[in-house]
A and B are shown apart, each in its own frame.
Chain A
Amino acid sequence: MKISTKQILKLLYILSWIIFVGVCIEAGGSIFSAFYTLVINPINAATFWAGNDLSALYKYDPGHFFGETLLISIASVMKACIFYLVIKILHDKKLNMSQPFSSEVRLFIIKVSCLTFGIAFFTEWGVKYTEWLVRQGVKMPDTQHLRLGGADVWLFMSVTLFVIAQIFKRGIEIQTENELTV
């Protein structure tokens, strides 16, 4: 059985929806957990989102707790934004395989590139911040568990996507030229 591009895109669309729901729950969960700890019940810091114990951090300083959870939340929201963009482009059927080079797709790649750069920036910042807190004697969970790992991978992805966006720019020009060749 031959798998067509249409079927692959359909599968990607379904997968993107599943991942989008997952990252939205993660982003919402970490934001709510931070809000709940800071505003309603500080005991919640011990069972912060995904079972991370941030009670030591909260006891050390609620301000630093806010800073750390803010970085985690920003990275999570940005991940959700990436999958929103993926779903949007697949839903709007902007991917035309007969004429793949379009300004919409280029804009999509640039947006994802910027978002991945943002994730790389905030996760790296989060890692450095966590390391600094550990040096201050605060018992912190592993950065991987705090969803702050892999800043270098995000940065690599961002640069790669930016290069692809530049290639797309030339691709659009060549495609337009080809369309207007009689």
Chain B
Amino acid sequence: MPIVVNLDVMMAKRKMSLNELSEKVDLTLANLSILKTGKAKAVRFSTLEAICKALDCQPGDILEYKKEE
């Protein structure tokens, strides 16, 4: 998929673990893992809002469009 999730990069920048983020955004570890590994088919605005709030970033910092080759 041409949409790349850079959640792990932002988490590393903020020095935040998956467990910590999971508690802050009120999402299960399994769902966060789906998002982090790029397996997710869709992201709810509410989830994106919670992640941006917890990581103090913009949606563009987490999601990136890359052309398929």
Contacts and interface: CB of A to CB of B under 8 A. Distances in A.
Interface residues of A, number: 5
Chain A interface main SS type: mixed
A50 to B, nearest CB: 55
Contacts, number: 23
Contacts of A177: 41-42
Interface string A50-91: 000000000000000000000000000000000000000000
Interface string B31-60: 110110001111110010000000000000
A181 B39 contact: no
A135 B34 CA distance: 69
4 smallest beta-carbon distances between A and B, as pairs: A180-B41, A181-B42, A182-B35, A177-B41
Given A180-B39, A182-B47, 13 more contacts: A177-B41, A180-B34, A180-B40, A180-B41, A180-B42, A181-B40, A181-B41, A181-B42, A181-B43, A182-B27, A182-B34, A182-B35, A182-B44
